Amino acid sequence: MQFEGAWPYLKLIAAANGIADPLDGRVVEAYWVGNSLLENARVAESAAIPTGAVPHHCFHVFCVYPWSGMLSKGCTEPSLQVLDSCRISWGRVITVEPVVVLRRSLTWDGRALALGSPVSCQVGAGFVTGLRPGDWVSLHWSRVCDRLSAPQLRALRRYTIRHLRLANAVMSTRQAPQTSASATSMTSK
């Protein structure tokens, strides 16, 4: 309960699925990685919450934190680095001493967030022991959180992409429209 950002989401997921304990492993997995419990726990739609959002950590990072909005206003750093570090990402272990994973970082082209090409990066071993090359792992703030099963990896990818799309849709409505003069200068280059 000391991680206040997650607690309301854990309670929402648990209540929507008739689970008494918000710290039940299935609930925790739903928030951090994603699973079918999320589909029963829709986030209330409003002007501030995009249609299709569910209480997943990527929703919180991309749609609640101010960093996406700061990107759309031209403040690339540290916004992009914070978004990329805080989201739960995935990577494939290349080496274990040091732990190096191949992962897709977030990119920003001035209009939209996307997943870039896979790059290798050194990370902390975090909570997982016995890592082996080829393992798929979840990452948070450059630390390994857990080994991912194939269904968990698919879920994490699916919910990440879902919330990237939602964040991009929201940011596109916040960005100032191009003037015809700037549009012309861009097309003539």
Could you give the count of Cα atoms lying within 13 Å of 74 in the half-sphere of its Cβ? Answer: 1
Residue recorded with tokens 């409505």 = 173
29-45: per-residue pLDDT in tens?
Answer: 999 999 999 999 977 76
More confident residue, 3 or 83: 83
Is there a contact between 103 and 118 (Cβ–Cβ < 8 Å)? yes
What are φ and ψ of residue 158, in 5° steps? -60, -50
7-16 and 25-32 helices, crossing angle to 10°: 120
Closest residue by Cα to residue 164 from 93, 85, 59: 59
State yes or no: pLDDT of 181 exceeds 60: no
Cα angle 127-130-61, degrees, rounded to a multiple of 5: 35
State yes or no: pLDDT of 70 exceeds 80: yes
Q: So what's the pLDDT on residue 2?
A: 54
Lowest mean pLDDT among 41-45, 124-128, 165-169, 175-179: 175-179
Domain boundaries, the chain: 7-175
Q: So what's the pLDDT on residue 142?
A: 95
